[in-house]
Amino acid sequence: MILATDLLSTYLLRATAQQSNATCLPQYNWMNNSQNQNPCVVASYIMGVCWNGPFDVPALGPGIYYYQVNGLPTACECSAVAYCLISACAACQNGPYFNWPSWSRNCSTAYVGYPFSIPSGTAIPQWAYQNVTSSGDFNIGLAQEVGDGPESAAPTALVTTSSTTASPTPPPTSFTLSTTLPSTQPLTTSSISFASSTSSSSTQKGAIVGGVVGGGVGLAAAATVTWFFVCRRRKIRLPRADDDE
């Protein structure tokens, strides 16, 4: 059974005299082995073991991804090493690739490593020995960290996988490296407290009002006292009527 999506088409791997015409982008040169072979070429070698000859891994076109050969997958295709190489081959062309559960869904037995002797004429880089049976996917960052050497044969331990349905892994164009991380917190303005002028204004206003009121009361009191003494003096100085007689 071939997995497909509405937007992507499958490119079936097939046995042929040609090995691979796929070209990796320069930023993926770290994927090359000691013989300067890209992962597509290496994959064609190790897949050819199960087909008794060279195996074609063609270049990907837009919206196309690799999948297994028609029919029951071979032990080569069901090895995690082959999956990593095919995934890396797709990634280095900026193409999508399946996760491991989807790739191995038709395998009766899935191999953690590569179950055969490495054919002459190639070498499997160390990064292709990822244990994708536990991680579930080819990890480009981990592959780059591990690097090429030492190039050695994979263990032949066996694991079984359960059937599952999953979507292809997004193309590595969504994988970016950055020395800085964007802030996940909203920017906040600093809290600055300013001294309120309300209290001082009230105090000043109260002093002014109090001074006016107090001054008014003082003037009224002074006027009353003055009026009292003036009236009293006038009263004293007024002549009596019997004095004129």
Q: What is the pLDDT along the chain (245 residues), one digit of tens a residue?
A: 333 333 334 445 544 434 788 999 999 999 999 999 999 999 999 988 888 877 889 999 888 888 877 667 889 999 999 999 999 999 999 999 999 999 988 898 989 889 998 988 899 999 999 989 888 999 999 999 998 777 754 344 444 444 343 444 433 322 222 222 223 322 222 222 223 333 333 333 333 233 334 445 455 555 555 555 555 555 545 455 555 54
Nearest to 126 by CA among 111, 113, 115: 113
**pLDDT at position 66:** 87
Beta strand spans in 3-63 (E): 9-12, 14-15, 55-56
Question: Residue 212 has what pLDDT?
Answer: 38
Residue 128: its pLDDT value, please? 95
Q: Could you tell me the two tokens for 233?
A: 């003096």
Element holding 207 (H helix, E strand) = helix 198-237
Cα–Cα nearest to 171, from 59, 83, 66, 95: 95
What pLDDT sits at residue 233?
A: 52
Q: What pLDDT, on a 0 to 100 scale, did the predictor assign at position 242?
A: 53
Residue 188: C-alpha distances to residues 44, 180, 185, 195 (Å):
56, 20, 9, 22
Q: Is the pTM of this model over 0.75?
A: no
The number of angstroms, rounded, from the C-alpha of 98 to the middle of its chain's C-alpha atoms is 21
- Coil, strand, or helix at residue 89? helix
